[in-house]
Structures are given as structure tokens and as C-alpha cells.
Amino acid sequence: MNTDYVEICPTAYHKMVEHSHEVWGWEIVIYLFLGGLVAGLLVLTAALELRAGKRSESRGLMWMPFLALALISLGMGALFLDLHYKFHVFRFYLAFQASSPMSWGAWILLVIYPAAFLLGMGSLSDDWRKRINGWVEKKAKRLKGLLDWSFEWADEHRRTLLWTNLVVGAGLGVYTGLLLGTMVARIHWNSAVLGPLFLSSGLSTGAAFMLLFKLNKDEQRALVRWDMLAIAAELFFIALMLISFAGGNHAAQVAGEGLLGGKWTAPFWTLVVMLGLVVPLLLETVEVKRRLPLTVVTPVLILIGGLSLRAILLASGQESCFCDLR
């Protein structure tokens, strides 16, 4: 036998074997959902204050940066659970690769923590600052200097912090979509609209989450209108993605089979399009035109739709591969 040439047949490329692999599970769904939600919270919190021209006095908006930090920490925890080599996570921060979405995401997540924390410190009312100062003086006097500095710095650079959180939040929202869009091995994810789609979805879920808290009337009205625009943009990008699948070449049509006649068609159109987008958009339109009080139903439906969008796209994408083109 001639041993100079060896033919290697990767079994992972076979359709039956490829489809049995589950690369990403529920952890990544939670990470993508909370990442988009936090992106929306940071962008909208900053936008509301920039729009008003002054610091908000509503309690819900005051605590929103700290809630964003808690939620992104939960998302990072879910991502950590998914890592195979968990103690190698520090390697993300030993270099920066401009062409790598994961490298961008790692550094954006790192910037979010100080940016959101200082935004939150500057958002605290005088009463809460006195409470925190009193607790620090009793329990941790060594932190008093750092606390005073953070309050002072956050107040002096308030506008810079607002724009920083707005830009970083938008970057986080786009990154969650680009993370999938650059995975060329999965033909279902090879779409240029995933970045703006996930950003608009993050803005919508962020607005829905904020509407669950006590805000003043002007902030509520602004969030509802912005949410309607975000939902309209989300529907546009979904339509653009589906049209590109249905009207594209053979590869595009195969890539869209999961959502256009495949097993994910019913949950996608039911949970994402109808209950998560169309119904909330109609409800918000009625609320705005008739000046009706806001209900908890609309924000909950939007949050369910945002979570379902990421779960379905992640699952359907992992079931698509180039072996389907044979």
C-alpha cells in the first residue's frame, strides 16, 4: 500500500453528524438577550437625559445604570458557564484583534462597567448620596475618598458619560448580532442585517424593561414612541432578511428553510413576529392615540419576543451548514 498519500474524511462535515452537534446552548441565548437588553438600557437612559437637558428625578431612571450592570453581570455569568476553558478567559484581554468580533465584544463589555457605574453615581439623588455617605462612614471609612471622587467626577463629566454610554451601548447591541453574522460556517447567519436587527431588538426590549418601572409621564411617552420606532425597524430588518432568503440563490434559500417552511417557522412567526412585535406595536399605537394608561402586557410580550428571537435564530442557525447545499 502506498502510504505517501492519506485521504482524511472529516466526519463532522457529514450532514447527519453535523446536525447532532450542539455548539451553543441556553447560556448563549441568555447572554445575547441580556446583552441586547443592557445595550438598550444604556442607550435609552442616556438619550432621555440628553433629550431633557437635565438629570432625571424619577426613581426608576435613577437606578437604571446599576440594573444594567447587574443584568450584564448575569449575562457574563451565563457566557462563563459556556466556556470550555473557563480559566483562560483573561486571554481575551491580552490583545486586541480589530478583525475579531469577539475581541471587540470583550473590550466593549470591559468598558461598560466603569462607564455605567459612573453614570449611575451621577444619577443618584442628593438624598441617596447622603444615605450612601452615611453608610460608608460607619462601615467602610477607607472608601470615603473614592466615593467622594466618583460623585465629583461623575457630576463634572456628566455629558461625556452620557455620550460614552450611548455609544458603548449601541456598540454592544450591534456586536451581539455581528457575533453570529461573522460565523461563515453557518449559512443561516450569513446576513448583513443581524447587527442592526439585534440593535433594534435591544432598544425595543430595553424600552419595554424600563416601562416596567416608575417613570414620569414625559419619559413614558418618549419611551413608547421610541419603542414603536424600534419595533418598526425590527420588522423591517426581519422582512429584509426573509426576502433575501426567499429571493436569493440556492444557498440563501437553503439558509432560510428553517424560518420559511421548516420546523422553526411556527414558533418564529408566532412568538417573535406576532406576539413579540405586531401585537405590542398595535397596543402601543392605540395607547398613544387614545392616551390610555400603559399596561404591563405590552412590555412583557416584547421581552418574550426578544428572547424568542435570539433562541430561534441561534437554534435554526446551528442546524444549517454547507453540507445542506449538496
Rounded to two decimals, what is the model's pTM?
0.86
State residue 210's pLDDT score. 95
Instruction: Cell numbers for 1, please give them.
Output: 500500500
Q: Which residues of 183-205 are buried (b: 16+ CB within 10 A; e: fewer)?
A: beebbbbbbebbbbbbbbbbbbb
Q: Which amino acid is at 41?
A: L
Identify whether the C-beta of residue 181 lies closer than 8 Å to the C-beta of residue 189: yes
Q: Is residue 1 part of a domain?
A: no
**Structural domain total, the chain:** 1
State residue 251's pLDDT score. 66
List the domain range (segments joined by +) for residue 188.
23-325
Q: Is residue 15 part of a domain?
A: no
State residue 277's pLDDT score. 96
State residue 8's pLDDT score. 46
State residue 11's pLDDT score. 45
**What letter would DSSP give residue 324?**
G
Which CATH number characterizes residue 80's domain? 1.20.1630.10
Q: Is residue 11 part of a domain?
A: no
Q: Where are the beta strands (DSSP E) in the chain?
A: none
Q: Is residue 62 part of a domain?
A: yes
pLDDT (tens place) for every residue of the chain, 326 residues total = 454 544 444 444 444 444 445 577 888 899 999 999 999 999 999 999 999 888 888 888 999 999 999 999 999 888 888 777 777 776 767 777 776 777 777 788 889 999 999 999 999 988 998 998 888 888 777 888 888 899 999 999 999 999 999 999 999 999 888 877 776 666 667 777 888 999 999 999 999 999 999 898 899 999 999 999 999 999 999 999 888 878 766 666 776 777 788 788 899 999 999 999 999 999 999 988 888 788 899 999 999 999 999 999 888 877 766 555 55
Phi, psi of 176 (to 5 degrees): -60, -30
